[in-house]
Structure 1
Amino acid sequence: MLIDTVLRNHYKIVELLGSGGFGDTYLAEDLDLPNKPKCVVKHLKPKTSDARVLPIARRLFEKEAEVLYRLGNLSKQIPKLFAHFEENGEFYLVQEFVDGQNLSTEIIPDQAWNEAQVVQLLQEILEVLVVVHEQNIIHRDIKPQNLMRRRDDGKIMLIDFGAVKEIKGLAQNTQGLVTSTIIIGSNGYMPNEQASSKPRLSSDIFAVGILAIQALTGRIPQEFSEDANGEIIWRHWTNVSDRLADILTKMVRYNFSQRYQSAAEALQALTSSTWTTVIASTYSVSPVKPKSTNRRIFGFNGKVLAGTVVGVGIVAMLALSYFPKQQSPQKTEKTEKTQKTEEFLSLPCSSELTSLSSTRKPDIKFSDGTKYYGARDKNNKLFGKGVMIFKNGSRYDGEFKNNQRNGCGIFSYSPNTSFYRDYVGQFVNDKFEGLGKIRWKDGREYRGNFKAGHCDGQGIFQFANGSFKSGIWQKGELRGSNLSCNI
C-alpha cells in the first residue's frame, strides 16, 4: 500500500511500521478528527483469492474484530479497536496507536535482570493478561515485541493478538476443506501443544514464563536446553530464590496440565508471598527536593566532534526495586541502605575507564582541542570503542557509530566545571538514552530510564542522605511529585 493512500476517505497512511508473513502494519492519521490523531492500520489478506476462502476469512475477521473491540473496552492496557472493514477481499483493522517501546529494548541479551525486576515484570504482564483470560481468550503470541511500555505512564500494553493472523494462512487442502496453514506463535515462546495447533490458556502462561526466564538469565529462548522429559534447563544460569524458581518452573512445564491454568492463577501464586509488600516498601520517600542545577554535557555533531556544551538527558530502563535477601536482626540501617544502593540496578555498561598511555598520540585531534583515541570505519567516521577527551577535561569512554556516541559508555564530567560526577549507561546519537545512572558530586544519584536527554520512564532518585524516591518520570519530572531530575 502506498504512503498517502486514504482508506474510506478517513485514514491516511503515513508510514510503514512493519511487514511480515501475516500482513503489513502502518501508521496513519485520522482525518475526521481534530489534530488528525495517529492510529495504526493493519492490512491482512488471504494468500489465495479462491472464492471458497473469502467467506471463511470474512467470518473469522468479524469474530476476531469483535474480540479485539471487547478487550479494548475492558482494559486500558489493550489497544482500542476503532474500525474494521473489508475492501476487495482484503481486511483492515484500525487500532489505537501506542506511543512507546516494546520490551525487546529492555530485555537485552547478556544483560540479566535482578529478581525484583523480574517479579515486577511478571506482575505487570499477568495483570493485563488476567483480563484476556477472563474472556476465555488466548493471546497466542506473547513475546517482548508484543509487549509495549507506554511512554506517558510506563504501563505495559499487550498488542498484536494472534488469532486474526489465521486469515493470512487460509487455503483449501486436498480434501477441499478450507483451513489455516499458519501456526500462530513465535519460536522459543510457543509450547508444544500450541505448535500442534491446540493452544490453551496455559500456553500463554508458558510464553510469559519463558520471557521472565529470558530477562532473569540474559539468555535468548533458543539457548535453553531441555532434559529427557522436555523440561527447560535454566537455573544454572542465574542465582535465584527457590520461591521464584518454583513459580517459573511451573509456568514453563512441558505438560500444559501441570502449569498454572490461567493468568489469574499464576498472579495469585506470585502475589501470595510477601514479595509485593517487600518490593513496594523497599524505598523510603523523602520530602527533600534537590537543588536545581544547570544541565550540561559535552557532545559533538554528525560531522566532527565539538567540545561544546549541549543539553542532554538520561536513558533507558530500570528495575524499580530489588528483591532483598533474608536479613538478620543485627543488620544496621546503614548496611541495609548500602545493600539497596548496590543491588537495585544492574547497569548494562561497565564503569571502568580505558587505560591510556601518557605517550600515546591521539588518532584524531580536532581544532578545538578535543582528542579522540580509537577506531574508525571505512568512511573515516568514528566507529567502535574509543575514548574522547575534551579540552575542558571531561571525557567519554565507550562506543561510537557514525561520529556519535551510540551504545554503552561512561561520560566523566570535568572536575572543575560541573555539578555532576559521571554518567554510566547507554547512548543514542550523543544523548543519554536507555538504562543508566548519573551521579552528582554531592552524593545524589538517579538510576533508571532515560529518553532524549531526560530522566524518562521507570527510575529511582537517591538523595544525598540515602533515602529514595521512585516512580515514573516524564521529561525530568516525577509523576505525582514536585521532584525534578533535570540534567
Structure 2
Amino acid sequence: MLINTVLRNHYKIVGLLGSGGFGDTYLAEDLDLPNKPKCVVKHLKPKTSNATVLPIARRLFDKEAEVLYRLGNLSKQIPKLFAHFEENGEFYLVQEFVDGHELSKEIIPGQAWGEAQVVQLLQEILEVLVVVHQQNIIHRDIKPQNLMRRREDGKIMLIDFGAVKEIEGLAENTQGQVTSTIIIGSNGYMPNEQASSKPRLSSDIFAVGIVAIQALTGRIPQEFPEDANGEIIWRHWTNVSDRLGDILTKMVRYNFSQRYQSAAQALQTLAYSTSPTTILASTYSVSPVKPKSTNRRIFGFNGAVLTATGIGLGVVAMLGLSYFLKQQSPQITEKTQPSISLPCSSELTFLPSTRKPDRKFPDGTEYYGAIDKNNNLFGKGVIIFKNGSRYDGEFNKNQRNGCGIFLYPPSSSSYKDYVGQFVKDKFEGLGKIRWKDGREYRGNFKAGYCEGQGTFQSADGSLKSGIWQKGELPGSDLSCNI
C-alpha cells in the first residue's frame, strides 16, 4: 500500500511499521478527529481469492475483530479496536497506537536480569493475560516482540493476537476443504501441542515462562537444551531461588496438563506463595513535606568484611506478587483507601538467645543463616550490625537479592524500616519505606530510589500518588531519596 493512501476517507497511511508473512502493519492518521491522532492499520490478505475461501476468511475476520474489540474494552493494556472493514477481498483492522518499545529492547541476549525484576515482569504479563484467559481466548504468540512497554506509564501492553493471522493462511486442499496452512506461534515460545495446531490456555503460560527464563538467564530460547522427556534444562545457568525456579519449571512443562492451566492460576501461585502484607490508608489531601535525603548508600560487603552505615531490619519472605496499583497515571492523584499488596512478608525471623552466629565479622557484625561452598552469604539469613541495624531476608553472593526487610538504627536515622524487594544490594522492585515520624512511601523502587508508580503518605495521613523519578514526584515538592 502506498504512503498517503487514504482508506475509507478516514485513515491516512503515513508509514510502514512492519511487513511479514501475515500481512503489513502501517502507521496512520485519523483524519476525522482533531489533531489527527495516530493509529495502527493492519492489512490482511488471504493467499487466494478463491470464492470458497473468501466467505470463511470474512467470517473469521469478523469473529476476531469482535474478540479484539471486547478485549480492548476490558483492559487498558490491550490496544483498542477502532474499526474493521473489507475492501476488494482484503481486510483491515484499525487499532490504538501504542507509544512505547518492545520488550526485546529490554530482554537482551547476554544480559541476565535479577530475580526480583523477573518476578515483577511475570506479574505484569500475567495480570493482563488474566483478562484474556477469562474470556477463554488464547493469545498464541506471546514473545518479547509482542509485549510493549508503554512510554506514558511503563505498563506492559499485549499486542498482535495470533488468531487474526489464520486468515492469511486460508487455502483449499485437494478435497475441497478450506483450512489454514499456517501454524500460529513463534519458534522457541511455542509448546508442542500448539505446534500440532491444538493450542490451550496453558500454551500461553508456556510462552510467558520462556520469556521469564530468557530474561533470567540472558539466553535466547533456541539455546535451551531438552532432556529425554522434552523438559527444558535451564536452571544451571542461574542462581534462582527454589520457589521461583519451581514456578517457572511448572510453567514450561512439556505436558500441557502439568502446567498452570490459566494465567489466573499462575498469578495466584506467584502472588500468594507468601502471605503478602496489605496496607490500607485513609483519605487526605497532601501536605508539602520534603523528607531529607539520608543514607543514600544502603549497604555493602568488602570481601569477607561486611560494612553497614545506618541500615536496618529485614523480613524473610518468599517472592510473591499481588495485584498492585491497577491503574497507573503520570499525573499526581489523591487516593482513597488504597489497598497495596506487598510481595514480601513483614515478620521477623525469631533468633533464640542461645543461638550462635553462623559467621561473625571483625567489627562485631553477626550473621545467622546459610553460607555456600565459597563462604558467601546465600539464601535466607539475618544480619545484625554493631550499630543496631538489622537485615532479615534473602542473599545471593554476599548481596541482598530477593525479599527482605531493613530495620534502621533506632537512634541515628530518621528512617524506621523498609519492607520489599532487593536487587544487588539496592531497594528495587515493590516495597514500602517508613519514617519514624509516620511518613511512608509505598510503590516501586529502582537502584535505591523511589522510582515509578508510588504513593506517599504524609505524617497527617494524607496521600499523594503518581510516577516518581529518581526520588522526586514531578509537580510536587515531595522527595523520597533513600
Query: Is TM (by shorter chain) over 0.5?
Result: yes
- Structure 1 residues 446 and 254, CA, compared in 2 at 3 Å: closer, same or farther? closer
User: In 1, distance between residues paired with 2:49 and 2:478?
Assistant: 59
Residue number in structure 1 paired with 2:380: 326
User: In 2, distance between residues paired with 1:266 and 1:321?
Assistant: 15
Residue number in structure 2 paired with 1:460: 446
- Structure 1 residues 127 and 321, CA, compared in 2 at 3 Å: closer, same or farther? closer
- Aligned pairs for 1:15-164 (under 5 A) are 15-164=15-164
User: In 2, distance between residues paired with 1:242 and 1:337?
Assistant: 15
User: In 2, distance between residues paired with 1:36 and 1:344?
Assistant: 47
Q: Alpha-carbon deviation of 1:274? A: 2.6
Q: Alpha-carbon deviation of 1:328? A: 1.8
- Superposed CA offset, 1:365-409 (max 9, x none): xxxxxxxxxxxxxxxxxxxxxxxxxxxxxxxxxxxxxxxxxxxxx
User: In 2, distance between residues paired with 1:257 and 1:178?
Assistant: 30
Residue number in structure 2 paired with 1:192: 192
- Structure 1 residues 245 and 183, CA, compared in 2 at 3 Å: closer, same or farther? same
* Identity score, percent: 78
CA contact (8 A) 1:183 1:195 kept: yes
- Superposed CA offset, 1:234-286 (max 9, x none): 000000111011110100000000000000000011011238659xxxxxxx9
2:452 to 468, 471, 479: 471
What secondary structure, in the 3-state scheme, does the structure 1 residue paired with 2:381 have?
coil
- Structure 1 residues 110 and 322, CA, compared in 2 at 3 Å: closer, same or farther? farther
Structure 1: gaps spanning 5 or more residues = 279-285, 292-319, 346-436, 438-444, 449-457, 463-467
CA contact (8 A) 2:4 2:12 kept: yes
Residue number in structure 1 paired with 2:297: none
Q: Alpha-carbon deviation of 1:110? A: 0.8
Q: Alpha-carbon deviation of 1:460? A: 2.6
CA contact (8 A) 1:122 1:208 kept: yes
- Aligned pairs for 1:219-230 (under 5 A) are 219-230=219-230
User: In 2, distance between residues paired with 1:230 and 1:243?
Assistant: 22
User: In 2, distance between residues paired with 1:10 and 1:475?
Assistant: 39
Q: Alpha-carbon deviation of 1:481? A: 5.8
- Which amino acid in 2 is paired with 1:36? K
- Superposed CA offset, 1:114-144 (max 9, x none): 1111110101100100000000000000000
CA contact (8 A) 1:169 1:180 kept: yes
Residue number in structure 1 paired with 2:291: 288
Q: Alpha-carbon deviation of 1:330? A: 3.2
CA contact (8 A) 1:114 1:322 kept: no
- Superposed CA offset, 1:284-307 (max 9, x none): xx953669xxxxxxxxxxxxxxxx
CA contact (8 A) 2:393 2:400 kept: no
- Superposed CA offset, 1:178-198 (max 9, x none): 100000000000000000000
User: In 1, distance between residues paired with 2:24 and 2:343?
Assistant: 38
User: In 2, distance between residues paired with 1:7 and 1:343?
Assistant: 56
Q: Alpha-carbon deviation of 1:484? A: 7.5
User: In 2, distance between residues paired with 1:246 and 1:5?
Assistant: 52
- Structure 1 residues 322 and 239, CA, compared in 2 at 3 Å: closer, same or farther? farther
CA contact (8 A) 1:78 1:158 kept: yes
User: In 2, distance between residues paired with 1:289 and 1:152?
Assistant: 29
Q: Alpha-carbon deviation of 1:469? A: 1.8
- Superposed CA offset, 1:202-260 (max 9, x none): 00000000000001110100000000000000000000111011110100000000000
- Which amino acid in 1 is paired with 2:450? K
- Structure 1 residues 101 and 342, CA, compared in 2 at 3 Å: closer, same or farther? farther
- Structure 1 residues 102 and 483, CA, compared in 2 at 3 Å: closer, same or farther? farther
- Which amino acid in 1 is paired with 2:451? S
- Aligned pairs for 1:307-326 (under 5 A) are 325-326=379-380
User: In 1, distance between residues paired with 2:275 and 2:428?
Assistant: 22
- Structure 1 residues 337 and 245, CA, compared in 2 at 3 Å: closer, same or farther? closer
CA contact (8 A) 1:471 1:478 kept: no
User: In 1, distance between residues paired with 2:428 and 2:384?
Assistant: 29
- Aligned pairs for 1:424-439 (under 5 A) are none
CA contact (8 A) 1:146 1:160 kept: yes
User: In 2, distance between residues paired with 1:277 and 1:244?
Assistant: 19
What secondary structure, in the 3-state scheme, does the structure 1 residue paired with 2:94 have?
strand
Cα RMSD after superposing both structures: 3.3
User: In 2, distance between residues paired with 1:276 and 1:48?
Assistant: 55
User: In 2, distance between residues paired with 1:339 and 1:470?
Assistant: 23
Q: Alpha-carbon deviation of 1:338? A: 13
- Structure 1 residues 175 and 484, CA, compared in 2 at 3 Å: closer, same or farther? farther
User: In 1, distance between residues paired with 2:9 and 2:17?
Assistant: 21
- Structure 1 residues 37 and 344, CA, compared in 2 at 3 Å: closer, same or farther? farther
CA contact (8 A) 2:69 2:81 kept: yes
What secondary structure, in the 3-state scheme, does the structure 2 residue paired with 1:141 have?
coil
What secondary structure, in the 3-state scheme, does the structure 2 residue paired with 1:15 have?
strand
CA contact (8 A) 1:446 1:461 kept: yes
- Structure 1 residues 290 and 134, CA, compared in 2 at 3 Å: closer, same or farther? same
- Structure 1 residues 188 and 322, CA, compared in 2 at 3 Å: closer, same or farther? farther
Q: Alpha-carbon deviation of 1:322? A: 11
- Structure 1 residues 480 and 252, CA, compared in 2 at 3 Å: closer, same or farther? farther
